A and B are shown apart, each in its own frame.
Chain A
Amino acid sequence: MDDVFLLSRLQFAANISFHILFPSISIALGWFLFYFKLRFSISGHPVWMRIYRFWVKVFALTFAMGVVSGITMSFQFGTNWPGYMETVGNIAGPLLGYEVLTAFFLEATFLGIMLFGIHKVPNWVHTLSILIVAVGTTISAFWIIVLNSWMQTPAGFEMREGVAHAVDWWAIIFNPSFPYRLSHVLLASGLTASFLIAGLSAYRILRGDHKKAPRLALKTAVFAAAILMPLQIFVGDAHGLNTLEHQPQKVAAMEGIWETEKGVPLLLFAIPDEKNRTNHFELPIPNVASLILTHDLEGEIKGLNEFIGEHPPVAPVFYGFRVMVGIGVLMLIVAWYCSITLIRKNVLSSMPLYVLLAMTFSGWVATLAGWYVTEIGRQPYLVSGVLKTVDAVTDIAPENVVFSFILYMSVYVVLLIAYLHTLFLMARKSVEIEEMRPEEEIQSPFKGIANKTIEQGA
């Protein structure tokens, strides 16, 4: 039983970690594509079309990776966590169902039109298809975050004979942590996509691409990041306060607080020791944790010792939180520095370009770290206060899970390498050939402008 439990958790964690990489890009990248196409439609300037054409390829690949890795999840609910559906299936089922019905078909169908229909439909229908795909990915995020938030802060249900029954769907959907979590996740996606666009564009420029497209894409992405990051800090703070209210044990683990105290210091670094219930090598800033979490220098925060046996493992939550915040701060500095330099000089020297290249996938690291904080932070519960993870696990033979786990892992590793390789390959290709064949050219709504500038390579 223990083996199956551990293996199932490992497998699910690996699956969801692999899966989340791709939606975290495609949710926001869809909106970026819509913006690029809209700019093209309005200005008729072919550079926007070039940016669109490069990034739509990235989008298609990312989307496909997200779709196929997502399908495995819907099977694992039943195969590895039957107790989950047996206990809260009445809530989780309809929420997942709405995701399939309102989002999956919408994105998949209009993605077909978006990718292959550009010559077959009027320009506005094509632009509309991009918008619908972007809306679809966002609706998808909406439903899955509803379910995840409900698992964190369940509401609107009652237990009858050990099974959750829906009482108030409105309360279920708009459960206490939902608005904060959804904003946090959407902004995270925006930042992940921004740094991907900036990083890959920086790569093209560093490889000697003197065309306008990568510079304009980089500028757009860096400006977007510079706007989104302060918003994210604001939302993250609000989300933290919300977590303190509903899941104080998670916040205690995030901050490494063992005893309930007033005027709690913020630990920049420490090594939590769960065995002795203390921290080593603390690097504290006095009173700041209290200030952030209670907006009062002497505010009281509950410690982990109030929740013995009911709190999550401290170290991964503690470190995960620091990784996420650290990258966030780095993102803020880099985005603002690059934006200000671009406004002043309109060009970046090679140093910041290398920094942007190094941060191409920083959004992934921060998203995963944040995801671990919130998911591990919910343990030992699968659904807070309702169902413990250990009670939901399957009773199939561990060998089966070993088999599937190895199978998934090997495929995922190969695919991740292929994905990263292909992204940089596409970037290198576009350094060399960017010219489109005339018959491929889309007529802009303003005749004349498009075709003339094309041949010169905007």
Chain B
Amino acid sequence: MFADYNLPIIFAGLMALSVIVYAVLDGYDLGVGILLPLENDQQADQMIASIGPFWDANETWLVLAVGLLLIAFPTAHSAILKTLYIPTAIMLIGLILRGVAFDFRAKVAQINKHRWNQVFKIGSFIASLSQGYMLGSFVMGFESSVAAYLFSALSALGVTCAYALIGSTWLILKTTDSMQLRAIKWAKLTGVISFAGILAVCIVNPLINSFVFDRWTTAPFVYFVAFIPFACFTLLTIGYLVLNRLPLKDDSACWLPFLITVIVYIFCFCGLAFSFYPYVVPGELTIWQAASAPESLRFILYGALIVIPCILAYTVFSYRIFWGKVEELRYH
């Protein structure tokens, strides 16, 4: 099973897993940061309390994803990150700002707290936009043309909007009353924009990217590719209808928008992943060309197979502890 040939596939799978878990988990807390209302301190407190126990672990999935890229496909790691040097630096600044703002805001005087709220919001925006931009240039094979830059800009907005969507559905799940009503409004708005964004990517991407076009129009991918947008659009429509009826009397189904969004995320991610497999740098490096030595991959794989289930187990444990609606912010 762990034959040399299979190792790069296994590691590509692990990397895909960490990327999608990252997009969902840090997606919702970045989204909460993007949506943070600066005019309503009480709601801001509530929103931040809802992500308090989780954001740090959520962000660790990015470290794992980048770490796996570094460990398993070192040449791809340096090729990709050298090309995306500036957006990466900007994203890191965004992550740094929001990470520390989160802690500073709870420990300083009221006036400064407001300033750190701003930093938190700006940091979340910077991180989301630059991640979207990086995704866009990856999809465009790191081309430097006007079309590629425009597509990357579109992708930056799309990812930011998608994070805001999952963030607002997270808030629907975790809050009540006026906060929840506000989150439902946000979710409707960002849901509609996400719908348009996915549609735009589906049309634009194959038109300006011949590699994707070939991939999308050859069997058996064509069936799969036809299915994904269809599924996404159906789910987003159902989601919108659900949002129209929320909140229900006993707040049942408050989890449904979040679940629908997660499924849409997974579909979109699969669509992307299958568009590029087996390339780790589109059109240039396959996972076999970029892979590290098998004895190193095997050494880390044994550990990963033991540790990742443990990580998932205590992550579930942590989510169970903080299950249900968020309470008043009780720091420490």
Contact = CB atoms under 8 A, between A and B. Distances in A.
Interface of A: 53, 56-57, 60-61, 63-65, 67-69, 71-72, 74-75, 77-79, 82, 85-86, 89-91, 93-94, 96-98, 100-102, 104-106, 108-113, 115-121, 163, 165-166, 169, 394-396, 400, 403-404, 407-408, 411, 415, 418, 422, 425-426, 440
Contact of A105 (B53, B57, B95, B295): B57
Contact of A118 (B92, B293, B307, B332): B332
22 contacts: A53-B332, A56-B332, A68-B99, A68-B100, A72-B96, A78-B70, A90-B293, A91-B296, A93-B71, A94-B300, A97-B68, A100-B67, A112-B53, A165-B296, A166-B299, A396-B85, A404-B86, A404-B89, A407-B90, A408-B93, A411-B93, A426-B107
A65 B56 CA distance: 11
B89 A57 contact: no
Contacts of B96: 68-69, 71-72, 411, 415
B33 to A, nearest CB: 14
A120 B56 contact: no
Interface string B293-325: 101100110011001100100110110011000
B110 to A, nearest CB: 12
- 4 nearest A-B pairs in the assembled complex, by CB-CB distance: A112-B53, A93-B71, A82-B78, A108-B57
Chain A, interface SS category: helix
Chain B, interface SS category: helix
Contact of B57 (A94, A109, A116, A408): A109
B212 interface: no
B332 A71 contact: no
A68 B332 contact: no
A93 B78 contact: no
B193 to A, nearest CB: 29
Given A74-B66, A403-B86, A86 B295 contact: no
Interface of B: 52-54, 56-57, 59-60, 62-64, 66-68, 70-72, 74-75, 77-78, 80-82, 85-86, 88-90, 92-93, 95-97, 99-100, 102-104, 107-109, 292-293, 295-296, 299-300, 303-304, 307-308, 311, 314-315, 317-318, 321-322, 330-332
B332 A115 contact: yes
B175 to A, nearest CB: 16
A101 B82 contact: no
B56 A93 contact: no
A112 B89 contact: no
A116 B52 contact: yes
A166 B296 contact: yes
Given A101-B311, A121-B321, A166-B293, A79 B303 contact: no
Given A422-B104, A426-B107, A400 B78 contact: no
A308 B331 CA distance: 57
A403 B88 CA distance: 12
A394 B108 CA distance: 41
B314 A106 contact: yes
Given A71-B63, A86-B74, A102-B307, A78 B81 contact: yes
A265 to B, nearest CB: 46
Given A109-B315, A411-B93, A165 B100 contact: no
Given A105-B60, A119-B330, A425-B107, A415 B100 contact: yes
A389 B86 CA distance: 23
A101 B56 CA distance: 14
